[in-house]
Chains A and B, each alone.
Chain A
C-alpha cells in the first residue's frame, strides 16, 4: 500500500470533504434549532439576566471537588467529573498548544502562536487517553450510564478515542512506521469531523445555548445560577 498517497488523500481531498461535512452539518443543526421559534420571555425580572448569565459561565468552569456546591455532586460522580475534566483539558491543550497541531492551524489560518513543550503535551495526552478509558469503563459499569448509552455513545467514544490514540502513537513512533500511523491519525481525525454533526459531541455548540438560558432564568429570579 502506498502510505504516502494515503496521507496525501487524508490530508487533502478527504480532509476538505470532512471539513465540509463538519461545518455544513453543524450549520444545518444550528439553523434548524434557531428557526424553531423563540417565544419572548414576557416575565418581569426581579434580578439581572445578564448578571445571571455571567455567573452561570463562571460557575460552569468551577467544578473542583472542594467547592462547597460541587462537593455532593462530586461524591456521586467522581469518575465522570475527574476523568471528564482531564479529558477536556488535555484535548483542548493538545489541539491548540501542541506544536504539530499549531502548525496545522497555521497552514489553514495563516498565523501561529507559542506552543507548549513536548513533555507537557505528552503527559496531557497520556492523561486524556487514560481518562477516556476510565470514562468508557464507568459508562459500562454504572447502571444509569449503561441505561443512557447506545450505539451512538459507543461510536462517540470510539471516534474521539482513535485520533487521540493514533496521535500519541505518532509522537512516539509506536508499532507502525511513521507515515502509516500518521496517515491513520489524519484519517481518524477526518472520520471524527464527519461524525460530529451526527452526534452529541456537538454539545460544544449547544453548550452556549443551555448555559445562557440557565443563567438568564436564574438571574431573572435574582437567584445565583
Chain B
C-alpha cells in the first residue's frame, strides 16, 4: 500500500514531475515507486483516528458511566471488579465487534461497487445479506427453542446466517460465471437472488408466531446487543485473513476498471482476480453478518461517502472500511446514550449515513461515474 509507505524524497526527475497531479507526491523506495495522494491519506488517517476516539468514548458511556481515568485503569488491569467486568466483558467486545463489522462491510461494499462499476452494487443489493437473513430467520422461526421440535434445532443463529450468506454468495458466483465474471451480469443475478431471499424472509415472517417474528426482525435490522468475545474473536480471525487479501486485490481492481481487454493487456490474470475479488467480498460480508446481523446500508452508503471525501476515481478500500467502522461504532454509541430507548444499531447506521450521503450529493459537483 503506497499510502502506508514512508514518504521519501520528492522525486526531482522531469518525467515524474510531468505526470504528477496536484495534491500528490511520487514516492520511490528502492525499485518500487508509487504515488501518494495526500487527500486520500488524510481521509484514511482521519477515519482511523475517529474510530479510536469513538471507541474510547464508547468504553466509558452507557447505563453506568465510567470516567476516562477509570477506563484507562481497567484497560491495564487495575480497575475495580465491577468496572473491570463492564468495560472488558460487556463494552469492549461490543465495540470491537462493531468496528470490525463496519470495517468488513465498508471494504466489501467498496470491492463490489468497484468491480461492478455500479454505485448500487453492494452486498445489501446483491442478496448476500438477505441470504444471511433467510438463514437466521429460518433458524429463529423453525427452531424448536420455544417449545416443540423444529427442523433447525441446534443450529445457532450466527451459523445459520453465515451459511445463508455463503450459499447465496457462492450461488452469485456460480450463476454469474460464464468464462469469467461480468460486472453487469453480477449485478443482475445479484438482484434476482436478493428478490428471492427477500421473498423467503418475508414469507417466513408471516408464518412465524408474532414473538418469533419480533425477535427475527431485531436480528434482520442488525444489532450489537449482548455481543461478547465469542463473536469478536472469530470475526477477528476472519478479517485477519480476508482484509489483507482484499487490499492485495486493490491494484488489479484498479486495472480491471479499464475493461477486460485492457486489463489482460496490462498483465492482470483476469479470471483468478475476478474470482478472488468476489470471494473475498462475499467472505467479508458473511463474517460481518454472522456476527451482528445485516447492519443496514453500511456497505452501500459508506463507499460512496468515502469516494466523495477522497475525490479519487473509485471507492478507496481501506478508507471505506475505516469510515464504516466509525459509522457503526458511532451509531452504537448513539443508541446507548442519546436515544431514550435502546434501538438496534442498524436503525441508526441508516439514519446517520443516509442523510450524510444526501448532503454530499446535494453539495457535490456533478459526478457521473462511481
A and B pair up: no
Question: A: which residues have CB within 8 A of B?
Answer: none
Question: B: which residues have CB within 8 A of A?
Answer: none
